[in-house]
Structure 1
């Protein structure tokens, strides 16, 4: 086959696309890189400023100090536990609901769809939610991270769009062999739907990892606090800053509050950042396949 000959207009468009992509990459990646190089620099030296491209005085003491703080380790562990359990539970429940809603013979299907659509545009508000969670004894309970986010209708729509793309002959042949819907869902639908499962898992995982709302309003037990809340307190509360500063002073460390913030911030974003490349090959296909319709 002959190679396609590009005109100068095509080359100009390609060059523009490359330059714009590089600019967007720089704008989005450099802030994270800036946090990294400052967290790897000696705290006292970093206070002088002007660190833009690489650590001036390399040091791992900032990270050593982060992992010496028990409340940071507890928050990191709670965030990991919440993200793993919450994501698995949400993906399972939402996908099963989506599979059921793709069945045209499901009783009250249109009613379920209408009620679910309402949840995309309206919520009960903070105070009613607080009383509901209190009634179910979910305040200061780990399950408050899991149960309210088990079902998200937007994710359900994505699952439904993907499930509709699967050949109907698969369902028909399975029914003829005596399989029920539960068997079909776990043995046929899930193995063929890994792109959309990976995509929704990424969405749900990021939401759980970054969520600040639930632990702020519904959790007062320090042992159940997640990393985002702890990070906000570290950045803003004078009391927390004074305690850490006193700890740093007692240990005669070159770590400063600013360098400790950088290290903590990088630790908090690293797990999710590493997760994206693992699901990238599923992400585009999971988002674009099929059309979203009720």
Structure 2
């Protein structure tokens, strides 16, 4: 038998108000992205006429064909996917291992390490010292300049530490009685129990890698190693598209300004869509991980 709670008039009013505000907030955040999508899927000359609100009037993939015809863009897309995948895997595991050690009171100089890490949250070395350091490490103009400097993040480590501290200590003690070492305990016991915080941190790291244009712009001069955000910035410049205007289909050359706008919108959709598609699959773990960090931090 299911038990139902009888709602009062005030409860219904509150529920209705919250529902209305929730719908309005959803529309305010979703429709701008949806408008970019329908505009990018419409013929640019026709879209310039306005009154394009819900569906494309003249459906076309020409705007996206212009984008993916650029070999450098395709190369940067694959490079960004590889960077995001490898950077997320290594960054999450490395940060988790460091946080696991910092969460143990038996670690020598634990407070000192934690204090040094906290300082880096508010004070950085600056662009020039960072550049010189990467130069000494021979990371400039290499793929590894995207991976190695981002292996450890103190904010993500704090989330891991908050989660690890709420796990029962008896699990580790029983494993040590059976002769297990710290690394075995971390891999076989701690990580399988840490799916919520792992998903949360993985999302943070993946979004950072996908959107980062700073590293590519300042530490990489080889255009073959430029990531997607850097190429997107170049493509969004009016000059870059106008220079390639002669290679466009005849119908798109009729109105250069409208074509320019449509290509910009299509480019933004290509940038946003991959991360947007991934998020729903890890939303449950993301919410759980954030709640643990909020309660235990």
Identify the match of residue 254 of structure 1 among 252, 255, 259: 252
Give, in whole Å, the separation in 2 of the partners of 1:110 and 1:61: 58
**Under a length normalisation based on structure 2, what TM-score does the superposition of the two structures give?**
0.94
Give, in whole Å, the separation in 2 of the partners of 1:113 and 1:232: 37
Q: Could you report, residue by residue, the CA deviation over 1:59-89 in whole angstroms, capped at 9, with x for unpaired residues?
A: 1222222221111111111111111111111
Aligned twin of 1:46: 47
Q: Could you report, residue by residue, the CA deviation over 1:92-127 in whole angstroms, capped at 9, with x for unpaired residues?
A: 110000110111110110100110110111101111
The count of residues paired between Structure 1 and Structure 2 equals 290
Give, in whole Å, the separation in 2 of the partners of 1:263 and 1:64: 10
SS of 1:289 mapped into structure 2: helix
Q: CA deviation at 1:253?
A: 4.8
SS of 2:56 mapped into structure 1: coil
Aligned twin of 1:147: 148
Tell whether the 8 Å contact from 1:159 to 1:196 is kept in structure 2 after alignment.
yes
Aligned twin of 1:162: 163
Aligned twin of 1:231: 232
2:275 pairs with 1:277? no
Q: CA deviation at 1:289?
A: 1.7
Give, in whole Å, the separation in 2 of the partners of 1:157 and 1:131: 28
What is the alpha-carbon root mean square deviation over aligned residues?
1.4
Give, in whole Å, the separation in 1 of the partners of 2:271 and 2:73: 10
Give, in whole Å, the separation in 1 of the partners of 2:296 and 2:84: 27
Identify the match of residue 268 of structure 1 among 261, 268, 271: 271
Aligned twin of 2:179: 178
SS of 2:268 mapped into structure 1: helix
2:246 pairs with 1:243? no
**Under a length normalisation based on structure 1, what TM-score does the superposition of the two structures give?**
0.95
Give, in whole Å, the separation in 2 of the partners of 1:22 and 1:212: 34
Give, in whole Å, the separation in 2 of the partners of 1:109 and 1:169: 22
